[in-house]
């Protein structure tokens, strides 16, 4: 069951299926109450509490109903600051995804501190960082992104360059990408019955595309003569070319003959705009469930697998960097840590010991 949040009078009503984690989250809000008869949680209605609930249940499906914005002089001032920030982001040429992320972080931060943004202090930032790190249990990467958003607000919008300098940043957690082997990739792709879904995942794996890139493809981006895919304005607002496989081209032709897309290669519902990233993620997850993939993977794991399999196949790291659209070779080098090519040439000392013992070596 999704988390349902609604407003009754001056109260926010929160409903969900019981879990200790959810209960702990609601209890972190001052003024919470439990109604055993109606089996609902209530908290005082403020814009701050509403946004705290959104942050607390950030990774869960939510239904938010009958919520009105609170009008007031303070909110008007903050809305003007947010508008200025949005304009500044556009002037600097940041991507839509960056704008969406930064604005979301600042709105959550604004609700948390519950005061004019132009009166923000280092202590406000510190408390917020601790809240989302400890109370929320969000990743170091998420906290660092939140701090970067607040830094942009302070430095580029409010011209207050000293506020963020005193805030320590959580150490970035270095994780290796989860890679699917050839057999697992084949099982996932074979589980797809819908030709459109097949075409999407075939493209992601065979060309190493990001999910945000595949959804924005247009028919004209597929160059079947040069066997290349033109990725227009990918991450970092950079164009690049990547490979088009023969099998993917065959699948694309099958899909095209059935669906006959016009502007977008993969249109969304009712042909309005392109398919959403969330839809693609669901397609991938459903395929993984069907074939019982136990690894903690996402649709982005297909891109990781593309890079790793190329490296294992002997493709130079510099070419892989170009295909993936990485600005730095250091980003691509992470795949050297997960490839089997180099690791399988290393023999464990235990195997050497057992071999010596079988050959009659007793040691000194």
Structure-block tokens of residue 99: 């704008």
Residue 48 to residue 30: CA distance in whole angstroms: 11
What is the layout of strands, in order, in the sheet containing 228-234? 222-223, 228-234, 238-243
**Closest C-alpha to 209, from 237, 186, 238, 243:** 243
C-alpha–C-alpha distance, residues 209 and 201, integer Å: 10
Count CA atoms closer than 13 A to 153's CA, side-chain side.
32
Alpha helices, H only, 92-152? 96-113, 122-130, 140-152
- Enter the tokens of residue 234: 């990918």
Mention every residue, 6+ apart, whose C-beta is less than 8 A from residue 346. Answer: none
What DSSP string describes 40-88?
EEEEE--HHHHHHHHHHTTTS-EEEES--PPP-HHHHHHHHHHHHHHHH
CB of 3 within 8 A of CB of 56? no
Which are the catalytic amino acids?
210, 235, 300, 303, 326, 335
Distance CA 274, CA 276 (A): 6
E-strand stretches of the chain: 3-8, 11-15, 33-35, 40-44, 62-65, 222-223, 228-234, 238-243
Look at strands 3-8 and 62-65 and give their pairing: parallel
Break the chain down into helix, strand, coil percent, rounded to 5: 55, 10, 35
CA 348-354-359 angle, to 5 degrees, is 130
């Amino acid at each position: 069951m999704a988390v349902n949040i609604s407003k009754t009078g001056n109260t926010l009503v929160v409903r969900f299926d019981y879990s200790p984690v959810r209960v702990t989250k609601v209890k972190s809000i001052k003024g919470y109450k439990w109604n055993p008869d109606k089996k609902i949680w209530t908290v005082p209605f403020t814009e701050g509490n509403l946004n705290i609930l959104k942050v607390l249940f950030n990774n869960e499906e939510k239904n938010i109903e009958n919520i009105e914005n609170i009008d007031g002089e303070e909110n008007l001032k903050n809305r003007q600051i947010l508008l200025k920030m949005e304009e500044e982001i556009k002037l600097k040429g940041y991507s839509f995804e960056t704008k969406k992320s930064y604005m979301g972080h600042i709105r959550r931060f604004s609700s948390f501190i519950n005061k004019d943004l132009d009166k923000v202090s280092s202590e406000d930032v510190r408390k917020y960082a601790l809240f989302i790190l400890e109370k929320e249990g969000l990743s170091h990467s998420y906290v660092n992104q939140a701090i970067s958003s607040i830094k942009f607000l302070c430095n580029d919008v409010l011209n207050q360059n000293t506020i963020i300098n005193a805030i320590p940043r959580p150490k970035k957690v270095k994780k290796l990408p989860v890679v699917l082997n050839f057999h697992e990739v084949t099982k996932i792709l074979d589980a797809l019955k819908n030709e459109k879904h097949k075409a999407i995942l075939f493209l992601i794996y065979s060309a190493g595309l990001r999910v945000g890139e595949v959804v924005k493809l247009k028919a004209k981006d597929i160059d079947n003569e040069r066997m290349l895919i033109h990725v227009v304005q990918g991450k970092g607002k950079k164009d690049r070319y990547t490979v088009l496989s023969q099998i993917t081209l065959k699948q694309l032709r099958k899909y095209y003959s059935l669906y006959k897309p016009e502007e977008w290669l993969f249109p969304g519902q009712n042909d309005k705009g392109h398919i959403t990233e969330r839809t693609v993620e669901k397609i991938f997850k459903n395929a993984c469930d069907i074939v019982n993939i136990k690894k903690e993977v996402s649709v982005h794991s297909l891109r990781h697998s593309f890079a790793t399999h190329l490296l294992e196949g002997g493709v130079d790291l510099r070419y892989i960097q170009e295909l993936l659209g990485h600005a730095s070779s250091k980003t691509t080098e992470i795949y050297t840590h997960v490839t089997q090519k180099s690791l399988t040439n290393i023999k464990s000392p235990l195997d050497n010991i057992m071999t010596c013992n079988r050959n009659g070596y007793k040691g000194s």
